[in-house]
Structure 1
Amino acid sequence: MKAATFDLPLTAVTPALPTARLAALGLDLVDATPARTIAALLAPGRRRAFFMNAHCCNVHRRNRAYREAVAGADALLPDGIGVELAGRMTGQRLTANLNGTDLVPALLEQAAAQGKSVYLFGGKPGTARAAAAALQARIPALTIAGTRDGYDGAADADAVVDDINESGADIVLVALGVPMQELWLHRHAGQLNAPLTLGVGALFDFLAGNVSRAPAWLRKARAEWVWRLAQEPRRMARRYLAGNPGFLARAALKAWGPESLAAAQSRLLDVTLSFTALVLLSPVLAVTALAIKIDSSGPVLFRQTRVGHNGRPFTMLKFRSMGVDAEARRAALLASSDREGVCFKAKADPRVTRVGRFIRRFSIDELPQIINVLKGEMAIVGPRPALPVEVAAYPPRALGRLAVKPGLTGVWQVSGRASVGFDKMVEMDLSYAASRTLLLDLSLIARTFGAVLGGRGAY
């Protein structure tokens, strides 16, 4: 893992860090580039900086002592997609995601160039030493003033403070976990001589190799939390699967009012389930792609324009289950539709390939739509996404099904799919749009597994 580098003149005069108050959180967070943030943190003077992510905000809400510690910090650094989403709820966009795993190594590169030293305090026995060794391997000029674990090594707070001060460290990194690290720094701020102190959470574990970072593509998608959840499900489930929805719900309530809670909860459910499914089903996706490629010529994915929320068109993704000339042959097959109404469906469709019949039977062909869900074009639960030619033929009442995002699963999908007539499908979708709740969505998701295994109407 290579640290990020920033082209920053070391002699630059650095003004105070700009901040922005996120209305949905009620916190003043640093609103600056990584380079400017690093320069300001390393400038002359004493500073205490904490990283603030969704979990930190949850702790902040219920822990008075932690709130006092946060209020006493000199800089609060925005960390993670949750804080970014909370800002967007009120139209606020911070300059950068200043997560500690990327920012601190970059900061230490600049610190080394300035001849500054660092002390690592926290983690399991041996972790701080391993993290220090990893840092020195990556930043040879960096001076490690000392290390100390967060277990027996933290038992005597006065001894810890004395050891840090005697080391002469310019920077102290404390990795005791939230909220312990912030409480410790707040409690001992007046005793520490180091100009810069930071609470860094799981950074030592990442540096030491105890916990691996998510692949670059997952980090770029701002979904590293999914990787953490997959690695440590017992420890992280409550934080991410319960904590994150609660965080966004409270932010939405503060930003928009009660009517936005359902929308925020629904979107979080979509993102959580789709990212988790993408990771867990990656072997199935890979095998399916290979089988399609072997079975017939043409691309693995089938792209088709569908009509989404409020009539907006989008490109829907599916595994290709038909020959490459399927669209050209569609018009000639309309008369053989097994389904009444404007939606064409033929059980003995000659365009379907051998692999196509299998993946349709178990709905595997629909899995690439997970990407549409992540992009916000579809939801996990919603009406079947319609073709533009179908929407053009809709009676006025049927247009009401476009009031919600189309979904991977829904009332129609778990009630027989192609065996359900068009008029009945419309009534199902209108009823869903009028009465949708998080509990209903969860119920339909649970019923989907039985529908897939039963295969009724899947062709």
Structure 2
Amino acid sequence: MTYLPTFDGPLTPASPLRETYLPNLRTTLVDATAAETIATLLAPGRRRVNFMNAHCFNVMARDRQYATAVNSADFLLPDGIGVALAAKMTGHDLTANLNGTDFIPKLLQEAAKMGKSVFLFGGTAGTADKAAAQLTQNIPTLIIAGTRDGFEQAQNDAEVIADINASGADIVLVALGVPMQELWLHRNAPYIDAELTMGVGAALDFFAGNVTRAPAWIRKAKCEWVWRLAQEPRRLAKRYLQGNFSFMARAAKRTASTLTPASVANRLLDITVAATALVLLSPLLALTALAIKVESKGPALFTQTRIGKNGRPFTMIKFRSMVSDAEAQRDSILAQSDREGICFKSKSDPRITRIGRFIRRASIDELPQILNVLRGQMSIVGPRPALPSEVDAYPKHAFGRLSVKPGITGVWQVSGRADVGFEQMIEMDLAYASSRSILLDLILIGMTFRAVLTGRGAH
């Protein structure tokens, strides 16, 4: 579950299919796994869907009619490394790249299990038929309700709509290319009986074998655009070379316009402190990892999903201070918590190793989070990063603590840590979020040394 800000103030649980507004792209993209997206798209109800890559955003920037068509769709799916990089500029690591050539066969496979049929519309003469033959070969139970090419058979909208509706198709894939397919759907989707309509670009050409996919290792390296450019340099050079550059430049410019002196100063402080600490503490980090490995089986580092700014999940890194199967044992010892409220803490937690007790007491177990800071997922100073299960149980006012990045240290950490109750911790975090400044962060960093030396609440 991801938590997104609402327009009326506090953060609240989002719908099963998450969406993220990206100011540098000026639109809202689906941010979910392929499986989550497919489940939502195939659920009862009418939906219009577009895939969005860098080229689509370039067309949006110069074609207002196309921009209107795109943003009127029910869901926009992120497609390509360019969109992922542009999202990352504003601190969003999109969950998945939902490019149509990989995503659509998965969607149709699930549709086939549900007995849903698909209509293929687009491509040159014969392309839709070849794509249909290949899809049914790969998915034998898939029902092809009908096909129609995107040239001679696409001249009359009324005829196309009548053909699609007569077929009884549940899903319509429109492959007319950008921007024609989005404009066509914006104009005609309300008159189509199918529940799901999608603009799919060149997908039918790939399914038909007209265009060859890049080898798996190139796709894994997120360089399929290079393969496509090598195949069709004359047609794609402007789109991929000039287009990708202009898209990234425009995204960077818009991102820069949203930055404030305070946010830049905070990030510079994070990078400076984290990089310096990584260099100076590297011998201690190495010795700690060795000690953990000597005492017990399992990796020296422990990773866990935590909830970051604006409810974004991220993988937090710590030194392992417990036995390797600690997570499996957690439910059985929840009743032993020494702390009231949602967050579990126990001084006598049987899962903690001897080395683990020492590194917890000295706060050494938290040091690998320096890497989370350098990645931009955490700050040096901020609220404690919460577990998803804890956030699921938050009272409404507690979501306000997710409005800033979680930190390695903070008000709660220097005020007693586990000795501080849940409600008091929330009040501390909300106060910090509303009044954070460089001066406050420097004071809290200084107070952290005292907290580490006293070890209060560290267990």
Q: Sort the TM-score into its range (normalised by shorter chain).
A: 0.5 to 0.7
Q: Mapping of 1:302-381 within 5 angstroms?
A: none
Aligned to 2:155: 155
Aligned to 1:111: 111
- TM-superposed CA distance for 1:23, in Å, is 2.1
Aligned to 2:58: 58
Distance 2:73 2:206 in 1: 24
- TM-superposed CA distance for 1:92, in Å, is 1.0
Distance 2:119 2:258 in 1: 46
What runs of 5+ residues in structure 2 fail to find an aligned partner? Answer: 1-13, 260-275, 280-459
The answer on whether the counterparts of 2:25 and 2:86 sit within 8 Å (CA) in structure 1 is: yes
- TM-superposed CA distance for 1:156, in Å, is 1.1
Q: SS of 2:97's equivalent? A: coil
Distance 1:64 1:87 in 2: 22
- AA partner of residue 81 (structure 2): I
Q: Mapping of 1:194-209 within 5 angstroms?
A: 194-209=194-209
Distance 1:91 1:124 in 2: 41
Distance 2:26 2:198 in 1: 22
- AA partner of residue 253 (structure 1): K
Distance 2:15 2:54 in 1: 28
1:186 aligns with 2:189: no
Distance 1:83 1:180 in 2: 21
The answer on whether the counterparts of 1:50 and 1:182 sit within 8 Å (CA) in structure 2 is: yes
Aligned to 1:90: 90
The answer on whether the counterparts of 1:89 and 1:256 sit within 8 Å (CA) in structure 2 is: no
Q: Mapping of 1:18-417 within 5 angstroms?
A: 18-257=18-257
Distance 2:216 2:205 in 1: 18
Distance 1:164 1:116 in 2: 14
Q: CA RMSD in A?
A: 2.1
Q: SS of 1:43's equivalent? A: coil
Distance 1:39 1:178 in 2: 26
The answer on whether the counterparts of 1:121 and 1:147 sit within 8 Å (CA) in structure 2 is: yes
| Residues 171/246 of structure 1: CA separation in 2 closer, same or farther (3 Å cut) | same
Distance 1:139 1:15 in 2: 30
- AA partner of residue 100 (structure 1): G
The answer on whether the counterparts of 2:122 and 2:175 sit within 8 Å (CA) in structure 1 is: yes
Q: SS of 2:145's equivalent? A: strand
Distance 1:23 1:218 in 2: 30
- TM-superposed CA distance for 1:226, in Å, is 0.4
The answer on whether the counterparts of 2:79 and 2:99 sit within 8 Å (CA) in structure 1 is: yes
> 1:291-311 CA deviation, whole Å, 9 max, x = no partner?
xxxxxxxxxxxxxxxxxxx9x
- AA partner of residue 167 (structure 2): S
Distance 1:166 1:71 in 2: 29
Q: TM-score, normalised by structure 2?
A: 0.53
Distance 2:130 2:175 in 1: 13
- TM-superposed CA distance for 1:256, in Å, is 1.8
The answer on whether the counterparts of 2:121 and 2:175 sit within 8 Å (CA) in structure 1 is: yes
- AA partner of residue 234 (structure 1): R
Q: SS of 1:25's equivalent? A: coil
What runs of 5+ residues in structure 1 fail to find an aligned partner? Answer: 1-13, 260-309, 314-459
The answer on whether the counterparts of 1:48 and 1:198 sit within 8 Å (CA) in structure 2 is: yes
> 1:12-61 CA deviation, whole Å, 9 max, x = no partner?
xx955210011211110001000000000000000000000000000011
Q: SS of 1:48's equivalent? A: strand
The answer on whether the counterparts of 1:173 and 1:200 sit within 8 Å (CA) in structure 2 is: yes
The answer on whether the counterparts of 1:23 and 1:255 sit within 8 Å (CA) in structure 2 is: yes
- TM-superposed CA distance for 1:65, in Å, is 1.1
Distance 2:21 2:93 in 1: 11
| Residues 258/245 of structure 1: CA separation in 2 closer, same or farther (3 Å cut) | farther
Aligned to 1:376: none
> 1:202-261 CA deviation, whole Å, 9 max, x = no partner?
0011001100001111100111000000000111001001100000000000012599xx
> 1:292-348 CA deviation, whole Å, 9 max, x = no partner?
xxxxxxxxxxxxxxxxxx9x99xxxxxxxxxxxxxxxxxxxxxxxxxxxxxxxxxxx
The answer on whether the counterparts of 2:27 and 2:71 sit within 8 Å (CA) in structure 1 is: no
Aligned to 1:342: none
> 1:115-157 CA deviation, whole Å, 9 max, x = no partner?
0000000000000000000000000000000000000000111
Distance 2:225 2:157 in 1: 32
Percent identity at matched positions?
Answer: 63
| Residues 44/227 of structure 1: CA separation in 2 closer, same or farther (3 Å cut) | same
- AA partner of residue 142 (structure 1): L
> 1:265-299 CA deviation, whole Å, 9 max, x = no partner?
xxxxxxxxxxxxxxxxxxxxxxxxxxxxxxxxxxx
Distance 1:83 1:202 in 2: 18
Give the count of matched residue pairs.
Answer: 250
The answer on whether the counterparts of 2:118 and 2:169 sit within 8 Å (CA) in structure 1 is: yes
Please identify, of 40-49 and 20-29, the stretch whose mean Cα deviation from structure 2 is larger: 20-29
The answer on whether the counterparts of 2:24 and 2:87 sit within 8 Å (CA) in structure 1 is: yes
- AA partner of residue 46 (structure 2): R
The answer on whether the counterparts of 1:15 and 1:40 sit within 8 Å (CA) in structure 2 is: no
Distance 2:258 2:66 in 1: 27
Return structure 1 stretches of 4+ with deviation > 2 angstroms: none
- AA partner of residue 34 (structure 2): P
Distance 1:38 1:258 in 2: 33
Q: SS of 1:163's equivalent? A: helix
Distance 1:258 1:247 in 2: 17
Distance 1:257 1:190 in 2: 38
